[in-house]
Structure 1
Amino acid sequence: MSFDFELILAIAFVVTGLFWLYDRFAFLPKRKEILAGMTPESRAAVSKEAQQRLGDTPRFVVEVKSYFVIIAVIFGLRSFVVEPFQIPSGSMLPTLKIGDFILVNKFDYGVRLPVLNTTIIPTTTPERGDVVVFKYPEDPSLNYIKRLIGLPGDTIRYRNKMLTVNGEPVSKELLAKLSVSLNPNQEPVELFSETLGDVQHEIYNSFRFTPREGEWTVPQGQYFVMGDNRDNSADSRFWGFVPDENMKGRAFYVWLHWDDFFSIPSFKNNGLIE
């Protein structure tokens, strides 16, 4: 069962904010009046917790509104500046490992309204080769991460493990043949260096099979994405294009790697994402 953490955080922001406003206008003036009538000595004798309850301020109001500031800070940072994600699968190997914790720039693709994801202040647009985080078109409560291959109007073709964009083959160079990989099914792969526009990065190709071949023309306002683990990635070849309104941001940094709960976190993969 999936849940939309962004929506939950937005609801918490609204609820705690309403309680903060309720306290500010209904009870704060009473507390100030009572404190103003006290001597400095008597005020000093009243703890901060007790001061919050003056003027018959209900305990539940004090408790709920106390979370507003921290939730507002987290909500603002995650919505408009940078958002953390954890890599759950091997679809972006070898660029991103399972268990990598990454940071996503939320400002690159425009300032967007939380939850609705509607652009209110345009900045830049997604570029070919970006590693992007987006809401999965078939279930917007899920966040996916892939590499952006096709821009609106592009024609993308994937056949015999060769990627072409608008009729031009995407350059790739064989680096190694790996007998054992970190793919979910532990199959051997070939490691290539691929140059997509101005971006050079590494990809995996399977020895065994090519899961989905074809040619696609990207509609206006949408994007075509693929995993760097080319033959082990559920991406636009299977479920279609990513609408612009689903874009959340550009992944730019790995800040932590943690395999599982019982392992020791490490910083071995730290660095910028190419």
Structure 2
Amino acid sequence: MTGSIKSFLKEWGLLILLTFFVSSCRSFFAEPRYIPSGSMLPELQINDRLIIEKFSLRNSLPKRGDIVVFNSPYSFDKKLISSRAKPLPKKRYCFFMSFPPMSFIPGLRDQACDAYIKRVVAIPGEIVSVNSNGELIINNKLIPEPYVSYKCSLSLFNKCGEFENIKVPEDHFLVLGDNRANSWDGRYWPGSKFLHKKEIIGKAYFRFWPLNQVGFFSK
């Protein structure tokens, strides 16, 4: 066996061990995530690195204002699933596809394996609307959202996904991106606008990169 093959096997062996170690950590308490898009600007910048805390949501529901990570709508929205040409991928497949080098191989990625990060803006039982500016109205009252800097005057989507007076179902939430002009969120999901609690992976807890933004997220 040549030295290059030994080196290759050693590197991949370490990667496999690391994969299983991270898998066990991700199953219970917390996991790292990075921000790949600008849908949560300005609160979250592209390439920010976060720790997502998973434990507290086991016995409680998220609150309005919480930033949550959740499974891809392509894995639970019935209309999106019905448009698939092949069955949904297994959780094991999605897990391994989340690690390099697999995640960098063209054609292997499946949208159903992605995770999204948005903000909880409406909770079960509330009557919610979103107007053409991307502003939130709950129970006929305009809700102040100081974290929203980019409204919809320059939206990439038609009429900012506006809708009127829909009741949030039990155990569901409306989640929107802070960058209302450029966020594919509950406003645009074809099967239902609302996220079931079982699809939530965890909530943003701590930012560890970049160094000048390190810190906990406010409650």
Q: Which residue of 2 aligns with 1:41?
A: none
Show the 5 A alignment for 1:1-274: 73-110=21-58, 123-139=59-75, 140-161=112-133, 162-172=135-145, 194=146, 201-209=147-155, 210-215=159-164, 216-239=166-189, 240-257=193-210, 267-274=211-218
* Offset, 1:254: 1.3
Unpaired runs of at least 5, structure 2: 1-11, 76-111
Q: Distance in 1 between matches of 2:161 and 2:73?
A: 19
One-letter amino acid of the counterpart of residue 140, structure 2: G
Asked if the contact 1:95/1:203 (under 8 Å) is kept, the reply is no
One-letter amino acid of the counterpart of residue 205, structure 1: K
Secondary structure of 2:130 counterpart: strand
Alpha carbons of structure 1 residues 164 and 100: separation in structure 2 relative to 1, 3 Å: same
One-letter amino acid of the counterpart of residue 142, structure 1: D
Q: Distance in 2 between matches of 1:88 and 1:73?
A: 24
Instruction: Indicate the RMSD between aligned Cα atoms, in angstroms.
Output: 2.6
Q: Distance in 1 between matches of 2:114 and 2:19?
A: 22
One-letter amino acid of the counterpart of residue 243, structure 1: H
* Offset, 1:124: 1.7
* Offset, 1:224: 0.7
One-letter amino acid of the counterpart of residue 245, structure 1: K
Q: Distance in 1 between matches of 2:148 and 2:216?
A: 14
Q: Which has the larger radius of gyration?
A: 1
Alpha carbons of structure 1 residues 160 and 74: separation in structure 2 relative to 1, 3 Å: closer
Asked if the contact 1:86/1:99 (under 8 Å) is kept, the reply is yes
Secondary structure of 1:76 counterpart: helix
**Structure whose residues are more often strand by fraction:** 1
Q: Distance in 2 between matches of 1:93 and 1:273?
A: 15
Higher relative contact order (CA 8 A, sep 6+): 2
Unpaired runs of at least 5, structure 1: 1-62, 111-122, 173-193, 195-200, 258-266
Q: Which residue of 2 aligns with 1:115?
A: none
Asked if the contact 2:132/2:152 (under 8 Å) is kept, the reply is no
Tell me the TM-score normalised to structure 1 length: 0.54
Q: Distance in 1 between matches of 2:204 and 2:149?
A: 17
Secondary structure of 2:69 counterpart: strand
Q: Which residue of 2 aligns with 1:18?
A: none
One-letter amino acid of the counterpart of residue 138, structure 1: Y
Secondary structure of 1:75 counterpart: helix
Percent identity over paired residues: 33
